[in-house]
């Protein structure tokens, strides 16, 4: 029995297919989930994918955070279900209150699309257990509103408790405070990051296979449990 990883499709999601493909490549059973359903179909983990849910109207992730499926995701995440938010999914996690802070327009105003080096800062999460602490990975980053911000007290709390999960190395693409690319919740089951590990699971189609580690990590944790 392998684990079942659900991927939510919102209207305007773009990277749900790649997230499903990454789950399959890691050895999990990929399960498509629908934004309008109050149903997680019994999955063992959930990925909120990248894209422009609801056209990013109002604020990126704002309307998606109130989608019917998100009521289920929030409740399940609070009960310990592993949840990964990538790019727009990270924005949704912040808007829904599962992660602190917010993602705002890039400091340089440009939409940035490039291969990005990241340092894995926290291996104590459901999604990063297979990485070595301090490991550097290269995955694509592509966003116009990826600048992570939070008040100083929140940033200090994230740093003090090892809750910065990923940090930009070799150049900050969007002006994110303290070079933060991704964070985790206190329990470590919820992780959000702006760059795209699901696009880097095969050197044939991505800059590396470094991103597969997130999906392998959650699978190992689920099947060991």
Report the interface residues with other proteins, using CB under 8 A.
Answer: 58-59, 62-63, 66, 94-95, 100-102, 104-109, 147, 149-150, 175
To the nearest 10°, report the CA torsion of 221, 162, 72, 148. -130
Q: Which is nearer to other proteins, 22 or 98 (CB)?
A: 98
Of these residues, 95, 121, 145, 198, which one is catalytic?
Answer: 198
What's the closest the beta carbon of residue 101 comes to other proteins, in angstroms? 6
What's the closest the beta carbon of residue 61 comes to other proteins, in angstroms? 9
What's the closest the beta carbon of residue 67 comes to other proteins, in angstroms? 13
Question: SS3 breakdown of the chain: % helix, strand, coil, rounded to 5?
Answer: 30, 25, 45
Q: Which is nearer to other proteins, 70 or 201 (CB)?
A: 70
Overall size of the chain counted in residues: 225
Q: Which is nearer to other proteins, 19 or 70 (CB)?
A: 70
Any catalytic annotation for residue 157? no
Radius of gyration of the chain (CA): 15
What's the closest the beta carbon of residue 109 comes to other proteins, in angstroms? 5
Residue 33 CA to residue 38 CA, distance in Å, equals 10
Of these residues, 72, 94, 196, 199, which one is catalytic?
Answer: 196
Cα distances (Å, whole numbers) of residue 182 to 64, 165, 169, 218: 19, 5, 12, 16
CA-closest candidate to residue 98, choices 80, 82, 74: 74
Of these residues, 87, 95, 121, 130, which one is catalytic?
Answer: 87
Q: Which is nearer to other proteins, 58 or 133 (CB)?
A: 58
Residue 69 CA to residue 46 CA, distance in Å, equals 11
Any catalytic annotation for residue 94? no
Catalytic positions: 87, 196, 198
């Amino acid at each position: 029995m392998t684990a079942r990883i659900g991927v939510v499709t919102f209207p305007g999601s773009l990277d749900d297919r790649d997230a499903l493909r990454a789950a399959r490549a890691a050895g999990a059973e990929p399960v498509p989930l629908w934004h309008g359903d109050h149903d997680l179909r019994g999955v063992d983990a959930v990925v909120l994918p990248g894209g422009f849910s609801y056209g990013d109207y109002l604020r990126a992730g704002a309307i998606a955070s109130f989608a019917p499926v998100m009521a289920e995701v929030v409740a399940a995440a609070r009960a310990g279900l592993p949840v990964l938010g990538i790019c727009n999914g990270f924005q949704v996690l912040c808007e829904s209150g599962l992660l602190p802070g917010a993602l705002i327009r890039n400091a340089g105003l440009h939409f940035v699309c490039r291969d990005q080096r990241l340092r894995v800062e926290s291996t104590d999460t459901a999604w990063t257990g297979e990485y070595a602490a301090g490991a550097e990975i290269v995955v694509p980053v592509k966003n116009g509103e990826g600048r992570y911000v939070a008040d100083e007290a929140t940033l200090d709390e994230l740093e003090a408790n090892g809750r910065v999960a990923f940090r930009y190395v070799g150049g900050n693409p969007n002006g994110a405070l303290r070079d933060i690319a991704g964070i985790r919740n206190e329990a470590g089951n919820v992780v959000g990051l702006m760059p795209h590990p699901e696009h880097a699971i095969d050197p044939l189609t991505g800059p590396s296979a470094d991103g597969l580690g997130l999906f392998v990590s959650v699978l190992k944790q689920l099947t060991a449990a």
